[in-house]
Amino acid sequence: MKTIGIIALSGGVSVDKICNAAENLKALGYKVKLSANIFDKNRYLAGSDEIKIAELHNFFKDSDIDVIMNARGGYGAIRLINRIDYEIIKNNPKPFIGFSDITALLLMIYKRTGMVTYHGPMACSDFGDLTPPPLLKGEGMMFSLDYLLKALDGEQLKFEGNKNYIRGEAGGIIWGGNLATVVSLCGLDFIPKEDFIFFAEDLNEPVYKIDRMFQQLINLQEFRDKCKGIVLGDFLDVDNQAWLDEYFYELAEKLNIPVAGGFKITHSKEKITLPIGRKCIMHDNRLVIR
């Protein structure tokens, strides 16, 4: 029986959601270990940065923990990235899973260690909303879990979007995450050396900010040189869907690379897991991760 370590590295968590998540994961056959700071609160953060870093190192060194799943996003991950001992992670590799604000850790761990990280479900948002647990057929839970397990098992993954902005074929590693969080890393050494297919999603951002964030990235020569295609997930609660669609056509034309949308990369309940750093091929609106 595998043990999932649930760790709080970003925003403060709900006691009820963590308890529900733990019960649901146990009902699925896993053991669960919670980080020491799991219920800590410091303003909008899950406790102090010092305790978060210590727990992150402890979770990687703990041989009883097979998989590390983040509790939630919010804000706080970027405060940690220059304080992590990446050698501990490199010497104790194990799956590290999250999305949203956790994107900062996914990308920096991959950059600094070469370890594949997983843009996938988290405890509170994906396993913690069900009352009372266990309710294993809750909205999106089994869909998200199925794709997570396939990714963790190293299976070939095939996904198809529903929109082509520019058709074409491209290859590289799969790399990206929450757009606002990716952009927050600008100024750091975070872009991979390999060619990549960039994936992105976001929540509650107006179109002009999405435009600005993509522009920040394409202003970087490294990004333009290495980005060979773009896969778009959900941009939920956007202010003007027609403008967003128009902008993505413009972005595709500007970069002259394949761009496709409509993938289940999302803050919604049903989400796919993308293993950051694994090789992939993009053909029109189809993505195959090897």
pLDDT tens per residue, range 39-76: 999 999 999 999 999 999 999 999 999 999 999 999 99
Considering the chain, what is the average pLDDT of its residues?
Answer: 95
What is the DSSP code (8-state) at residue 224?
Answer: H
Q: What is the CATH number of the domain that holds 281?
A: 3.50.30.60
Question: How far is the first Cα of the chain from the last one, in angstroms, to the nearest whole number?
Answer: 27
Instruction: Report residue 287 CA to chain centroid gap.
Output: 17
Residue tagged 């198809």 (tokens): 160
Domain boundary among 95, 117, 152: 152
Over residues 188-232, the pLDDT tens digits come to 999 999 999 999 999 999 999 999 999 999 999 999 999 999 999
Alpha helices in the chain (DSSP H): 15-27, 49-61, 86-91, 103-113, 141-152, 179-183, 207-218, 221-226, 241-255
Same domain, 123 and 263: no
Residue with tokens 């700071």: 37
Lowest mean pLDDT, pick from 24-28, 139-143, 283-287: 139-143
138: pLDDT confidence band, cut at 50, 70 and 90? low
State the amino acid at position 165 in one-letter form: Y
CA angle 3, 140, 241 (to 5 degrees): 130
Question: How does DSSP classify residue 63?
Answer: T
CA 98 to CA 44: how far, in whole Å? 18
Cα-to-chain-centroid distance, residue 12: 18
pLDDT at position 1, please? 77
Binning pLDDT at 50, 70 and 90, where does residue 142 land?
A: confident
Would you say the C-alpha torsion 88, 278, 180, 217 has a positive or negative sign? Answer: positive
Same domain, 128 and 162: no
CA 40, distance to chain mean position in Å, is: 23
pLDDT band at residue 131 using 50, 70 and 90 as cut-offs: low
Indicate whether 34 and 51 sit together in one domain. yes
Structural tokens at position 21: 């998540």
Whether residue 162 sits in one domain with residue 147: no
Q: What global pTM score does this model have?
A: 0.96
Are 111 and 211 contained in the same domain? no
Q: Quick one: pLDDT at residue 135?
A: 54
Q: What tens digit of pLDDT does each residue of 143-180 get?
A: 899 999 999 999 999 999 999 999 999 999 999 999 99
- Give the residue-averaged pLDDT of 21-27: 92
Mean pLDDT score, 79-100: 98
Domain final residue pick, 133, 152, 171: 152
Pick from 120, 152, 184: which residue ends a domain? Answer: 152
Domain residues for the domain of 107 are 3-152
Calpha distance 82→166 (Å, rounded): 37
* Residue 133 confidence (pLDDT) above 80: no
The strand pair at 3-7 and 196-203 is best described as unpaired
The pLDDT assigned to 6 comes to 98
Residue 93 shares a structural domain with residue 148: yes
User: How many domains are there within the chain?
Assistant: 2
**Stretch 262-283: mean pLDDT, rounded?**
97
Reduced to 3 states (helix: H, G, I; strand: E, B; else coil), residue 153 is: coil
Rounded to whole angstroms, the Cα distance separating 88 from 184 reads 24
- pLDDT of 179: 98
Is beta strand 117-119 parallel, antiparallel or unpaired with respect to 96-98?
Answer: parallel
Question: What are 236-246's pLDDT values in tens digits?
Answer: 999 999 999 99
Q: Tell me what pLDDT residue 132 has.
A: 53
Closest residue by Cα to residue 263 from 242, 287, 246: 287
pLDDT value of residue 134: 55
User: CA-to-CA distance for 286 and 282, rounded, in angstroms?
Assistant: 6
Two tokens, residue 55: 């727990």
